[in-house]
A and B are shown apart, each in its own frame.
Chain A
């Protein structure tokens, strides 16, 4: 089972993601924004990072860029959660180094099938 860092400033979304992942047997560490996530990431490694894009203090794209600069996160899958239906955020996300994305709104089943794609 994987160790996953879930980043979202919205408590309800964070709880939903964390609860779903834990129910599937994963270990989840939660972070409330990009800055918080980066602080955590500097101390531990993860198998996967799932992050919201729009967040105070540090957004998801900056976080992705920063994470890719850390040795431990060079190849770690990073998924961004985006509501933008347009490809704008996806392109920016890819440019920042994200592995893929999940479009909001999504349900727990979609979340699990998406992380299967990166965790195998």
Chain B
């Protein structure tokens, strides 16, 4: 039977990458000089699994690399080696190498930086051999495949004396099975010796008392027989001697001195199972084009919950179809109940399906200990990274897209936020700075906070810089703190006087904000000079579904994301003012908000253009409040977002579309875009008026 081992490759890749993450995070927490046995065991286990798997599935270069790593870790585990800073750095470098090698498996033909791997492997070997002479050439022992062709010990037959120790049976070994195996080699003649058998009263049923003498007539190597008894060689007396017979002389090719006790070690192994000759394969150099793995690991509890719900759905369905077969108006109440149950099932199912796409934010947070470790070493800063709320769940797509902005913010905090140990001491602070990553749910959102206890944001400098770069005309334009901090996100703004290796990588904070906005989220800064800053990111839990408010304009139905609605009100005409050059504004308590007539933007035919006959939905987007004038509010419901871009094209002011219960399509408003759109239109129309 042949089994295609490549089917297990993806699992191997996933579990290995997971193992590497564990290795990395454990290494980062390892204290120099102090061997935490449990931590070292964890690291060892990860390396060990990767080695075992890579050998089994034929990834010989990985097996060879991990073999050295494993030996080194095994010695550390046994206390023969100290945990030193260079050792940790080297192990971290090994993790990087392995990660690259394993990622390269993902794509057919992708390769990794062999020189880098070879150099790290060499360093590992040097470390390994530095104080120990260890030529740990892989001595993969074959199971039961001793081949007879190149065996020197053959005879026409063998006399086997086999006397098990009393407790041999307790390890699950059965003499009968051994004899059966011997029988496969040739013809058997077995005689049993019952001498040791005690009388019945003193007989212990679980002990072995019998011993045997077996005559095997077969042209086989002694090693093959020994192999059969290899599992019990310390649990029995075994004597194997060659039977001299007339036929031996005839077989001239096989006339070799039988070597006593020599087990044939020159075992032929197929390339797949041969683990790791040290030579690395030469492959054409080509950067791995890392394709994003599209599979997702889901906890079985989530799948079970879903299966359970499908079961309930089937019950509801059969109940309803039974009802339909013999329906009359007397059963209307039953029908209503059934439909209510169906609705509940559907809703629960929807929630559970969405939950499948949810992953704990730790997937994203996990890369930070290493990043902080590497960056602080480079910058000569001391930072204690704290994380909380790692189990907070977030949609996989959102998580993937928030990764880079988070890295940017963390780099920023380390580079511009936290001061050098000297500056910190001078400021009377702990020389070790603290960086806190925190995540939690709030409403339908997830909040991710990045806080440092560094120098905080220097408002004066931000203002100066903004004027310098032409973002604002004069510092007096801006009064409150939030607006000052917001300048950091303006395109073309950078307060770092010297573009450093760490944070000056061309991606500015404007891109960070843009990415977050593209996910339907927002970012806010709070900062206190000398005390530190907090960047807090708000993201929707999922991009697939939103809670929407249905509004009607004439015949058309539009959907406003519930989250952006502040309030809805009936318009009091006295509060409406028309500004010169600008459109109508509405006085809402102490605020003035612009009124956007939706029918104008979308060219719909309204019931009425009279403000008093419709309603004003006050919405907030990009920190700006506006009022949307609509004919009527319909209902609230969860809508599934269908992308307009993939079906039509991107439309400004519209984030997507959905299909309503009656089958019609409704557009979902993008409030930020809507405000921009209306501003542009107004500017155009007022320009037109002037001309």
* Contact B171–A99 (Cβ < 8 Å): yes
CB atoms of B177 and A107 under 8 A apart: no
Contact call A75/B44, Cβ cutoff below 8 A: no
Please give, as numbers and ranges, the residues of chain A lying within 8 Å of B48 by CB-CB distance.
Answer: 54, 83
B144 within 8 A of A: yes
Instruction: Take A13-B53, A24-B1 as given contacts and tell me if A103 and B8 are in contact as well, using a CB distance cutoff of 8 Å.
Output: no
B residues 37-55 in Cβ contact with A at 8 Å: 42, 44-45, 48-49, 51-53, 55
* B173 at interface, CB cutoff 8 A: yes
* Contact bitstring B231-256, A, C-beta under 8 A = 1, else 0: 10011000000000000000000000
Cα–Cα distance between A10 and B12 once the two chains are bound (Å): 8
Q: Are the C-beta atoms of A97 and B171 separated by less than 8 Å?
A: yes
Tell me if B5 counts as interface (CB < 8 A to partner A): yes
Write the nearest CB–CB distance from A19 to chain B, whole angstroms. Answer: 7
Q: Which residues of chain A come closer than 8 Å to B650, judged between CB atoms?
A: none
Whether B51 lies near A108 (C-beta < 8 A) is: no
A74 touches B206 (CB 8 A): yes
Task: Pick the most buried of A100, A102, A117: most chain B CB atoms within 10 A of its CB.
Answer: A117
Contacting pair B172 A76 (CB below 8 A):
yes
| CB within 8 Å for A10 and B49 given contacts A16-B5, A75-B172, A105-B275 | yes
The range of chain B's interface size is: 35 or more
Using an 8 Å CB-CB cutoff, how does the interface string of A50-70 with B read, 1 for contact, 0 for none? 001011100000000000100
B465 at the interface (CB under 8 A from A): no
Does B170 contact A107, Cβ atoms closer than 8 Å? no
Is the CB of B676 closer than 8 A to any CB of chain A? no
In angstroms, how far is the closest chain B Cβ from the Cβ of A109? 7
Of A13, A101, A114, which contacts B56 at CB under 8 A? A13
Asked if A105 contacts B15 (CB within 8 A), the reply is no
Contact indicator B55/A83 (Cβ below 8 Å): yes
In A1-33, the 8 Å CB interface with B consists of 9-13, 15-16, 19-20, 23-24
Inside 8 A of B57's CB, which chain A residues have their CB? 12, 16
Q: A75-B170, A85-B140 are in contact. Are A100 and B231 (CB under 8 A)?
A: yes
Instruction: State the Cβ distance, B279 to closest chain A Cβ, in Å.
Output: 18
Contact with A along B249-290 (1 / 0, CB 8 A): 000000000000000000000101101000000000000000
User: B457: shortest Cβ distance to chain A, in Å?
Assistant: 45
* Interface residue? B181 (CB, 8 A): yes
Given A105-B275, A110-B145, does the pair A12, B170 have CB atoms closer than 8 Å? Answer: no
- Assuming the contacts A56-B45, A94-B234, asked whether A105 and B5 have C-beta atoms less than 8 A apart, the reply is no
**Choice from A11, A102, A107, A120 contacting B11 with Cβ under 8 Å:** A11
A2 to chain B, nearest CB (A): 13
In the bound complex, CA of A13 to CA of B57 (Å): 9
Q: Which of A10, A54, A100, A120 contacts B44 (CB 8 A)?
A: A54
Closest chain A CB from B58 CB (angstroms): 8
- A residues near B (Cβ < 8 Å) are 9-13, 15-16, 19-20, 23-24, 52, 54-56, 68, 74-78, 81, 83, 85, 91, 94, 97-110, 112-114, 117-120
